[in-house]
Amino acid sequence: MATISDPRERPIAVFDSGVGGLTVMHELLVHLPAEDYIYLGDTARFPYGERTPDELATFSLEIAEELLARNAKLLVVACNSATSAALPVLQQRMRQTTLGVEVLGVVRPEAIQAVATTNNGRIGLLATNATVASGAYDEAIHAADPHVTLVSVAAQELAPLIQSGSTFDDKVVELVRGYIEPLREARVDTVILGCTHYPLLSPILQRMLGRDVRIVTSGVALARQVEHVLGARDLANPNRSEGSYRFLSTGDPEAFAAVGTRFLQLPLGPVEQVTLHEGVIA
């Protein structure tokens, strides 16, 4: 693939285990419309929430290599499980490349936003098993404010259910109700959606949690951080027109497209199927 001479005109790369990261992609497209984007959904190995940290690190490095080969100027890990397990190794490896690509994840911006939002110092977290087990949010919350309490709930069944495109029926409502009960009992006033699939459940969650509980998602906070990094490194695209965006999937591209529009809330267009290869990032 031909190299783009002006680094500012290279695309921002975004990846997730599936289509959930499109909720982050949506905010990037809205907040930074002049940028070009490339999104990779690793749907062939979805879900990530049941994977080991070593598997997640390996998958993430393979994806990073693919996106770097496609001229990425910045890598956004729009997956909480991958961020929790692989962000440090990704940052180390990508900074060693000739282009010195910066890597941003979803955990820290969301944790900071939650700490700034809470009034009573009790924050809830809904996330996958891998994310909860990693302790990444505990660490990020404690770093932001050691006096805040985090109540974490592993909601493993939610991401596959949302990814499948299933109708949100009474069974889904009862499943969600069971997951949030510990948060209600803990009297949290802020809830972090620690999986990029979960924003699609925001109306159900808000109704059950009550109007006084604030729900924090990663999209807006991460979009702001991307903007700051682009400005600090003089990588903002100078074009004033709307940029382009395209999609890659390791699984069935038609299935990705069918479900993805619901998450992106914008026209999706064609989806390219890709095969990832093990290798060392140059």
Confidence category of residue 245, pLDDT binned at 50, 70, 90:
very high
Span 256-268, pLDDT tens digits: 999 999 899 888 9
Joined tokens for residue 40 = 């990779």
121: left (phi over 0), alpha (psi -120 to 50) or beta: left
SS3 38: strand
pLDDT given at position 30: 95
Beta bridge partners of 37: 12, 245
Active site residue 195: yes
pLDDT at site 282 = 47
Q: How sure is the predictor about 279, in pLDDT bands with cuts at 50, 70 and 90? A: low
273: pLDDT strictly greater than 90: yes
48-84, pLDDT tens digit by residue?
998 999 999 999 999 999 999 999 999 999 999 999 9
> 130-141 pLDDT, tens per residue?
999 999 999 999
CA atoms in the 13 A half-sphere facing the CB of 94: 29
Mean pLDDT of 162-168: 84
Residue whose structure tokens are 């069971």: 178
Catalytic option among 72, 94, 150, 195? 195
pLDDT band at 167 (very low <50, low <70, confident <90, very high): confident
What's the Cα-to-Cα distance from 113 to each of 4, 90, 222, rounded to whole Å?
35, 23, 10
Distance, CA of 85 to CA of 128 (rounded, Å): 12
Say which amino acid occupies 9.
Answer: E
In this prediction, residues 96-125 reach a mean pLDDT of: 93
Mean pLDDT of 79-104: 89
Domains detected in the chain: 10-105+220-273 (3.40.50.1860), 108-217 (3.40.50.1860)
Given the residues 32, 61, 64, 79, the one annotated as active site? 79
Residues in contact with 158: Cβ distance below 8 Å, sequence separation at least 6, in sequence order: 126, 175, 176, 179, 195, 197, 198, 201
Q: What are the DSSP calls for 57-81, one per residue? A: HHHHHHHHHHHHHTT-SEEEE--HH
pLDDT at 94: 87
User: What is the residue-averaged pLDDT of the chain?
Assistant: 93
β-bridge mates for residue 228, sequence order: none
36 is catalytic: no
Contacts 24+ apart (CB under 8 A), 141-148: 141/111, 141/114, 141/115, 143/111, 144/111, 144/112, 144/115, 145/115, 145/121, 147/121, 148/115, 148/118, 148/121, 148/122, 148/123
pTM surpassing 0.95? Answer: no
